Amino acid sequence: MVTKAKRAQRRTDALSKERIIETAIEILDAEGESALTFRALAARLTTGSGAIYWHVANKDDLLAAAASDVIARVVTDVSDGTEPREAVRRIALGVYDAIEAHPWVGTQLSREPWQFAVLRIFEAVGRQLQALGVPEPAQFDCASALVNYVLGLAGHRAAAARLLAPDTDRTAFLTAAAARWAQLDPGQYPFMRQVAVQLPGHDDREQFLAGIDLILSGIGEKLR
């Protein structure tokens, strides 16, 4: 006989898209992109690997949903009433920090064309541009510029995280990269060699924000 308690228990244990996504995020966060397999996921959910396909179309679908989940938390958080430029900065930094915390989201964002996670960012940014008074025909271009910039960095940070052994520290990594750049052929790579000096001391997050401000300043020019 199935008691009420048992049914409640069942409902919690029952497989669902939400529970699958949640568990997928746990695995991705704890063990990285390569650890997410349907077998690992099924083991963690104490079910068969085929069962997952009842709730999720395939692995791409699962990853897209997981990324969309993480981004939704970040993007919704922008409080109203803030100055539009500042709001754009916050959205961008929110995405940046989310990728820092979940590098696999970066991979996902830069692989997705017009999936939900990206739409969410696009929408949030676009609204701020409207608030800023950007004329309608230019809004699409401006939003696209901001979003593409964010996604470019997303992919980049994710790639860096993939390379970085989990225990290496950042400064050591940057110093190593700088050393490699400093050894490039001076005839072919004068700029990289010059920049190499700045690399170890530079702050990724601030550089990211500097790029946002550059684009915002370009947008500001359009408003005059």
Q: Which residues bind DNA (CB under 7 A)?
A: 14-15, 36-40, 46-51, 53-55, 58-60
Quickly count: other Cβ atoms within 10 Å of residue 91's Cβ: 24
Report the partner that residue 48 touches, choosing among DNA, a copy of itself, none (CB closer than 5 to 8 A by kind).
DNA
Amino acid letter for position 210: A
**Contact call for residue 121 and a copy of itself (CB under 8 A):** no
17 binds, among DNA, a copy of itself, none (CB under 5 to 8 A by kind): none
The footprint of a copy of itself on this chain (CB under 8 A) covers a number of residues equal to: 60
> In this complex, which beta carbon is closest to a copy of itself, that of residue 101 or of residue 176?
176
Q: Does 9 bind a copy of itself (CB under 8 A)?
A: no
129-158 residues near a copy of itself, rule: CB under 8 A:
130, 136-137, 139-145, 147-156
Q: Are the CB atoms for 99 and 105 separated by under 8 Å?
A: yes
Question: Residue 127 Cβ, how far from a copy of itself at the closest point, in Å?
Answer: 5
The entry of a copy of itself, DNA, none that residue 54 binds, CB within 5 to 8 Å by partner kind: DNA
184 is an interface residue for a copy of itself by CB under 8 A: yes
Q: Which of 111, 175, 182, 200 binds a copy of itself (CB under 8 A)?
A: 111
Decide whether 86 or 141 has the Cβ nearer to a copy of itself: 141
Q: Is 217 in the site for a copy of itself (CB under 8 A)?
A: yes
